[in-house]
Structure 1
């Protein structure tokens, strides 16, 4: 099948359609078809295919389909849909329903397996949510989300985006501190690359020639029902009978603090 995808992706898509219609390994057929469609710049078709046929897939496949949909929404510029799905995934984490109730899950990348924790998944989703708010120019909302993500699992890329949010709001001293953390190499990991540092340096140069302004707007566009439940994962995750995570810290005090 991999050879068919590489040589004739259109034929591969027809084969995937046939498998789906014949109820033959629908989980893999739908996901693989959507990936090929995305590669062929047919992301909107892939979105409709997932929406139309995901009910035929197993419960275990739904989470990976959601992740694929988020990527497709991003490619299509469907920001509102992306935000809503990201919030839905955060609700699942809050209710203890993510990872099928387990503390970690096994993921694959480039043929290798690795473990992802609830903590890492929460930070990843918040990072994506912050990016989506930035696409709407809602930098105050993005700031709140990025700060929360950094409290959970800090990295250079999110710090750089946080700095940009602060620049856009005219809070240049705060932005400078966030960006200098990036340029001084205070983070490690995948987001600590040369391109991230270059972006931070560019923003710092912009700050030097930009007049300072200020705004007290914090978290605009972020519904209280969601943001009050995006709590900080601090300890090992242990599901309770209620399924709610016992280790979340309320965000309200944090929001009051940064609003001052």
Structure 2
């Protein structure tokens, strides 16, 4: 009995003899991902630890460049999973969308996650939760999670070349939880809009250490790269074919209320939302 317990502890596989356990054994011990997927399917069909089986199978499929199949599997079988498993499945979906270059799907899912935060549907109503990264546990607050999701949404808009929308989202993220990475991403958006003075001002603040993470060597290298790019550019005589914001009103109104809880505005509307209105008027 002790040998059996020790084996599962050492190899970090669950105990038992069901299809899910066999799938994890094939994945971790035997290192046969294709066989693991077969057993994960059997676990899902047999109702054996479906929450974990579906998530783990999707991750293995991604490693085998079967991301499209993994997306289809999650969308088809997540209805069999518990309510508690839906957030982790969405996180796996986001990684799969990135892998497949499905930017529109990323944007839709990130907006959905932000709406859920606004409606109080995350963290089981608690202000923070315990997360794990590289084997270490740490606390994540709702505020930090909101800023992280906004940062990902800004990056997705950047991938579409919609730098105006990306700028708006990055500015919101900075209002909630400012850091040097989002500041650099915001600078990138400003450079693409030929707003060089604003971009330089942000980069100078990052260089002076006015943001969290400013002293990180990777951050300083990126600042230097952005400054080189900034110096190489000249303002064009006019801008053409700038994409629209494409931020629906219900989404923005919900996000405005969320941000107002953490950063009370001096006036009735935050300046950033006045900026959105201006953009919309210009694009009308």
**Coarse TM-score class (shorter-chain normalised):** 0.7 to 0.9
Q: What secondary structure is seen at the aligned counterpart in 2 of 1:137?
A: coil
Structure whose CA Rg is larger: 2
State how 1:47-62 maps to structure 2 within 5 Å.
Answer: 47-62=71-86
Q: Aligned partners of 2:76, 2:215: CA distance in 1, in Å?
A: 39
Aligned residues of 1:230 and 1:251 also touching (Cα < 8 A)? no
Q: Aligned partners of 2:229, 2:136: CA distance in 1, in Å?
A: 41
Aligned length: 249
Corresponding residue number in structure 2 for 1:114? 138
Corresponding residue number in structure 2 for 1:98? 122
2:277 is equivalent to residue 254 of structure 1:
no
Structure 1 residues 164 and 120, CA gap change in structure 2 (3 angstroms)? same
Structure 1 residues 31 and 199, CA gap change in structure 2 (3 angstroms)? same
2:229 is equivalent to residue 206 of structure 1:
yes
Corresponding residue number in structure 2 for 1:227? 252
RMSD: 2.6
Q: Aligned partners of 1:177, 1:48: CA distance in 2, in Å?
A: 45
Query: What are the Cα deviations for residues 121-161 of structure 1, in whole angstroms up to 9, with x where unaligned?
Result: 10011001000000110000000000000111111111111
Aligned residues of 2:171 and 2:272 also touching (Cα < 8 A)? no
Deviation at 1:3, TM superposition (A): 5.2
Q: Aligned partners of 2:178, 2:244: CA distance in 1, in Å?
A: 20
Instruction: Give TM-score, length-normalised by structure 1.
Output: 0.86
Consecutive unaligned residues in structure 2, runs of 5 or more: 1-12, 14-23, 280-284
Consecutive unaligned residues in structure 1, runs of 5 or more: 237-246
Aligned residues of 2:168 and 2:272 also touching (Cα < 8 A)? no
Q: What secondary structure is seen at the aligned counterpart in 2 of 1:18?
A: helix
Structure 1 residues 211 and 92, CA gap change in structure 2 (3 angstroms)? same
Q: What secondary structure is seen at the aligned counterpart in 1 of 2:209?
A: coil
Q: Aligned partners of 2:27, 2:179: CA distance in 1, in Å?
A: 36
Report which structure shows greater RCO (CA 8 Å, sep ≥6).
1
2:53 is equivalent to residue 29 of structure 1:
yes
Deviation at 1:248, TM superposition (A): 7.6
Q: What secondary structure is seen at the aligned counterpart in 2 of 1:164?
A: helix
Structure 1 residues 208 and 253, CA gap change in structure 2 (3 angstroms)? closer
Q: Aligned partners of 1:142, 1:24: CA distance in 2, in Å?
A: 42
Aligned residues of 1:107 and 1:116 also touching (Cα < 8 A)? yes
Q: What secondary structure is seen at the aligned counterpart in 2 of 1:202?
A: helix
Query: What are the Cα deviations for residues 19-67 of structure 1, in whole angstroms up to 9, with x where unaligned?
Result: 0010100000111111111122211111111001100000000011111
Higher helix share: 2
Aligned with 2:179 (options 155, 163, 177): 155
Aligned residues of 1:156 and 1:192 also touching (Cα < 8 A)? no
Aligned residues of 2:150 and 2:173 also touching (Cα < 8 A)? yes
Aligned residues of 2:154 and 2:166 also touching (Cα < 8 A)? yes
Aligned residues of 1:157 and 1:192 also touching (Cα < 8 A)? no
2:26 is equivalent to residue 4 of structure 1:
yes
Deviation at 1:105, TM superposition (A): 1.6
